[in-house]
């Protein structure tokens, strides 16, 4: 499975949530609401989730193995950092 596109949809300057992204896989499947978080001096990616009746959250989609999680996280964080170095703003 190839990550064929990553779009940074929204960014935040304060708090641990730094960005919301959309990922396209194999030019056929889009995953929205992937979050870039900065906490404990590092970036990581949180997959889309929904809140359960008991107040806990459950991922709607997630990587099955550590290798793809690492690839996905590296690509999303790389896209976020590249977005920050560009002098562009998100459309309103």
- Asked, for residue 11, whether it belongs to a domain, the answer is yes
Euclidean distance between the first and the last CA atom of the chain, given in angstroms as a whole number: 32
Look at residue 91 and tell me if it is in a domain: no
pLDDT digits (tens, 9 = 90+) for 24-53: 999 999 999 999 999 999 999 999 999 999
The answer to whether 34 and 48 have CB atoms below 8 angstroms apart is: yes
Is 31 inside any structural domain? yes
Residue 92 has pLDDT above 50, yes or no: no
Q: What CATH number should be reported for the domain holding residue 26?
A: 3.30.1120.40
User: Would you say residue 91 has pLDDT above 70?
Assistant: no
User: Total domain count for the chain?
Assistant: 1
> Does residue 35 form part of some domain?
yes
**In which domain, by residue range, is 68 found?**
3-85
């Amino acid at each position: 499975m190839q990550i064929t596109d990553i779009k940074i949809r929204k960014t935040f300057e304060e708090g641990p949530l730094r960005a919301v992204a959309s990922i396209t896989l194999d030019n056929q499947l889009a995953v929205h609401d992937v979050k870039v978080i900065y906490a404990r001096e590092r970036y990581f990616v949180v997959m889309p989730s929904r809140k359960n009746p008991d107040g806990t959250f459950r991922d709607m989609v997630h990587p099955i193995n550590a290798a793809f999680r690492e690839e996905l996280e590296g690509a999303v964080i790389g896209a976020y950092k590249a977005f920050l170095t560009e002098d562009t703003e998100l459309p309103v």
